[in-house]
Amino acid sequence: MKKIILAMTSIFVLIAGLVGCSNENKTTESTPSNVEERVITDVKGEVSIPVEPQRMVDISGASDILSLLGYDVIGTANSDGYDYTKLPTYLEDVLKNAKILGYSMLAEMDVEAIIALEPDVIVISTVQEKMYDQLSKIAPVVMIEMKQVDWKEDFMHVANVFGKEEEATTWINHYLDKAAAVGDQIKATYGENSTYLSFLASAGSLFIFDQAGLGSVLYDDMGLAKPAGMPEQEDISLPVVSLEGLAEINSDYIFAIGTDEDLQTLTSSSIWNGTEAVKAGNVVTLPASPYFNQGYSPIGRLAFVEEIQQLLASMHE
């Protein structure tokens, strides 16, 4: 699993360099002539797609965003980061009718499975750019860039490509208003200056969520305070700390996310058990699946905001 985490973070860093040259003609013969079309502009240039796509396949990782923009996705790669054969729980409802085709951070997917879905539009990211020519023979291909640094930027990028800026802005603003309100409620309950930490324990390593994942939900969206001793996140890669380094982060409340094995190792450690938050019983333990990926999805972020008060209340039940 450590290899998966490292591979994912490496791919995040490489995404920005994968954008290809402009494309001269992206209209495919597979688009029925009687379907009303419109021209949009993606990272490769202009492409004609149906005005109202009926069979959209997305392997870019933006299926959650596309669903929020009003599209029905019939094929997706928004699978769980720890099990590519299933959807993360927070997407089970919105993508319940979509066939899982792989994992969005992988460069290649099952082309035969995509063909079988008979798509009228295929959405890919720059990660899958080498599949572009092959997929263009099946249906019009829209290439987007998912930087995975700022979720709002990715959301608006997808919205801009499809001409859905108003819908995206409305959803983002409603979410941010709700997150801020929940943050205010938490501060009123647990103290204005109380600090919060979230981290992932996986494959023997400890990854700190700061400017990415659930960390940005806590700090940016809900306005909760960071603890002292936080390592600075310089890029998309999550900062890694030792157990001793984790103990030096003086947080009042902790969300410990991890695999069963890693959490068992963590909770049996005298260093961990000696921290003030643990001694006070102020720790919420959560499974790596789905919480590792959750902060990278708009729908996942909303689900966490709606759940966090219940999670905090469960600490002393």
Tell me if 23 sits within 8 A of 41, measured CB to CB: no
Distance separating alpha carbons of residues 71 and 203, to the nearest angstrom: 37
pLDDT confidence of residue 147: 82
pLDDT confidence of residue 33: 55
pLDDT confidence of residue 18: 35
pLDDT confidence of residue 314: 94
Domains within the chain, CATH numbers bracketed? 25-163 (3.40.50.1980), 170-316 (3.40.50.1980)
Count the Cβ atoms, other than its own, within 10 Å of residue 256: 23
Averaged pLDDT, groups of 10, the chain, 317 residues long = 41 37 40 76 94 96 97 96 92 96 93 97 96 96 89 96 97 98 97 96 91 92 94 76 92 96 94 94 95 94 97 90
What does the DSSP 8-state code read for residue 108? Answer: -
pLDDT confidence of residue 27: 39
Alpha carbon of 68 to those of 13, 137, 164, 171, 311: distances in Å?
26, 28, 10, 8, 26
pTM: 0.86
Alpha carbon of 104 to those of 77, 124, 288: distances in Å?
5, 9, 18
SS3 state of residue 75: strand
